[in-house]
Structure 1
């Protein structure tokens, strides 16, 4: 798009800080830019960004194979493609817990046939701004998908074509274009606030549910919002009514969690990052 080139050329002067986060095979570099300067440059270039408040999109995705319907498992290529494109578009993608309540209200074998009212009612516990319901079916070595997007304006159907990954890119792009393009910034409930907690070693749904349950019972944690769950890693955002230091003290007493240091991070505040490794039983 016209205007972006001039903004990117000025990236070095906009850099405010950088941090390294160690990984098993190297490190991740995080770059932080001056938000006010960047917003000013975007405005001068005529580029309207989504702003600080973004639409939280809740995803219910069912995979049908050999006539059996199941909710998509972490690490599935379709889910990976959806999450990757959602990050590119800056669209927060939420996944349901799929606990007993979810399974009873929205069983996977009936999800696609359930009326909009039932989907919205069950999704209400996650407080999303929009809901994406998808159905994937494998036939003859190819994938066919169809999606329904529910937002404040109503329902929209998306039936992409092509290979699996491009289909998922199309779905995210259609959702992002609709949500970012037709609503005021302040209309969204999602705010990127709260402490980010990254946990490695969450390899299955049982570990996922155990961890989320543990955090919700931890003193000082007022809310837990899962953000990403893929490749054995879980990212959550915690809202606290205590200090980060007290939270760390509580988590350090939990034998199933092992702290992982983040190189380059100083004093933690309510918008900082903590990282742990799940050790299980």
Structure 2
């Protein structure tokens, strides 16, 4: 029989240091907690039939594409021509599970090389598997009541942010917001003003992030806006704003832009400009048309933009884009005031 180890007696100094040690261990484990499996996804499974399994595998493949590309729009590639076959070819394993709400789930894992080759064939740039862990300071102003968002407070926003980041394969940290931290946070923040958020850089040191996101969410009803600043060592800060009909839509658009900005320069050879034609439904007034036009005018590599038709709630545009239709996911869709409608042709619906 092995003797039990002798009990360790804590000295007064050790007792004083114990809380600090616990905090240090907790912060040291934060990054591991946010490790993401980019090549695996879980999706609902309708029933046990082979047809349902194939449909679920295709959906899971789409989620993996979005995680690897860093942009949710890449998921639609799984539903386009050749997507379902590519999903089956790259499938390594799958299994069944049950979610917390009792819904049957299918867990699927895909071959990393096959996934990246599929994206490259469609000229969609992918992020490296090793990605910076980003700490997000977000001031949420909902109905005139600004509040900083922490790891679990308010719960709905904390969950929405982590889900948005996870769907794009982005490791995200939210601050603990303990009493000391809350007392030091400013009552307002403007990500566009670097001096306005300088104090948050100092507060970030305890989390040891690879990069910092400063954000502001504001709005109400069907009009929301997210303002973001991304600070990474060795790079110039990037500042942008996105909007949506809900807080979730604005957050999703903002996180798509993060993925687009993290793509390494020259990751995909786009090739020569190719004529592209897209249709956007839901354009009901000149303000909507102007918002779409302004977005398209700012897309790098897009030239020769011209309207073809406008009427009955639909706008048709033609332009030249390096990489053609396949480059829409990476070049045009991030941060766009419209979302793609599933199908084999590039069609969208206006969503401000």
Residue 220 of structure 1 corresponds to none
Residue 182 of structure 2 corresponds to 103
Residue 59 of structure 1 corresponds to 136
Whichever of the two has the greater Rg, that structure is 2
Shift of 1:178: 0.8
TM alignment of 1:190-205, pairs within 5 A: none
Residues 8/102 of structure 1: CA separation in 2 closer, same or farther (3 Å cut): farther
- Residue by residue over 1:141-175, the C-alpha shift from the partner in whole angstroms, topping out at 9 and shown as x without a partner, is 85454332222323233232342333222211222
TM alignment of 1:156-167, pairs within 5 A: 156-164=238-246, 165-167=248-250
| Inter-partner Cα distance in structure 1 for 2:105 and 2:120 | 30
| Inter-partner Cα distance in structure 1 for 2:205 and 2:266 | 20
- Residue by residue over 1:64-112, the C-alpha shift from the partner in whole angstroms, topping out at 9 and shown as x without a partner, is 3565432233443x5555444333322222212222343244x151444
Using CA pairs under 8 Å that are at least 6 residues apart, name the structure with larger relative contact order, 1 or 2.
1
Q: Which runs of 5+ in 1 are unaligned?
A: 185-281
Task: Judge which range, 134-143 or 25-34, deviates more.
Answer: 134-143
Match of 2:253 among 170, 186, 205: 170
Residue 21 of structure 1 corresponds to 97
TM alignment of 1:91-170, pairs within 5 A: 91-105=170-184, 107-112=185-190, 115-138=196-219, 142-152=223-233, 153-164=235-246, 165-170=248-253
| Inter-partner Cα distance in structure 2 for 1:160 and 1:66 | 18
Secondary structure of the structure 2 residue equivalent to 1:54: coil
Length, aligned pairs only: 182
Residues 95/182 of structure 1: CA separation in 2 closer, same or farther (3 Å cut): farther
| Inter-partner Cα distance in structure 2 for 1:136 and 1:44 | 37
| Inter-partner Cα distance in structure 1 for 2:96 and 2:201 | 40
Contact 1:71–1:108 under 8 Å retained in 2: no
Instruction: Provide the aligned C-alpha RMSD in A.
Output: 3.4
Residue 242 of structure 1 corresponds to none
| Inter-partner Cα distance in structure 2 for 1:141 and 1:48 | 32
Residues 11/64 of structure 1: CA separation in 2 closer, same or farther (3 Å cut): closer
Secondary structure of the structure 2 residue equivalent to 1:175: helix
- 2:88 equivalent to 1:12: yes
TM-score, normalised on structure 2? 0.43
Q: Which runs of 5+ in 2 are unaligned?
A: 1-73, 268-352
Structure with the largest fraction of helix: 2
Secondary structure of the structure 2 residue equivalent to 1:109: coil
